[in-house]
Amino acid sequence: MICPLCKNTNIHQREDVAQFLNCSHCGTVFKNPYHFLDLEQEKERYLLHENNVEDPNYQQFVAPIVTAVTQSFPPSSLGLDFGAGTGPVISKLLGDKGYIMKLWDPFFHPDASVLHETYDFIVCCEVIEHFHRPQKEFRLMHKLLRPKGMLFCMSETLPEDSEFSSWYYKNDPTHVVFYSEKNLKWIQEQLNFKNLEINGKLIVLTKG
């Protein structure tokens, strides 16, 4: 078994929730791949998400990313919604404000041509916890960013170790990797991001 983020082999199974493992090197907590859903099961799970772009509660939920983008880039900037899902509400809200948005999602927006462009910013809302190969995905997003580009993510960060067994976020069967200041710092340093900011669920990585 190797860590899906740093590729280290110093891995141990958690004692509190047996299907999860810890990486002693970068601090990543991840699900044993034996317990992953297959692709069809994963897609069916995503189709259960009620992501109505007109839902004001959903719009409020994504507001931290929308606000962060509008404070960092002017209208007409080009952005990519990475893992846009069935209801790309961030793209709608930013598009309404004059931003140019492209969509990528392996299940619902699989036009790979968008992965051959570069972007001023990338939004990745409630997506990074689904990455089966997080190092590969973060390397790709870094490559897709223009110089001084910014990656805006939203995800629940790991609670205290003693609280993990009761943490609701791990119970979604499609949530397979979790983040903390330690492994986000590893991503910043090893994948050549210039800056990292963590503000609650909002995670911002800036390219040099």
CATH of the domain at 41: 3.40.50.150
Distance CA 203, CA 152 (A): 6
| Mean pLDDT value across residues 161-179 | 97
Alpha helices (H) in the chain, listed in sequence order: 39-47, 56-61, 63-72, 89-96, 134-144, 181-190
Is 3 domain-assigned? Answer: no
- The answer to pTM > 0.85 is yes
| Mean pLDDT value across residues 146-160 | 97
Distance CA 30, CA 13 (A): 10
Is 5 domain-assigned? Answer: no
| Mean pLDDT value across residues 112-135 | 98
Residue 55: pLDDT band (50, 70, 90) is confident
Q: Poorest-confidence range of 27-31, 44-48, 122-126? A: 44-48
How many domains, in total, are found in the chain? 1
Residue 91: give the domain boundaries: 11-207
8: left (phi over 0), alpha (psi -120 to 50) or beta: beta
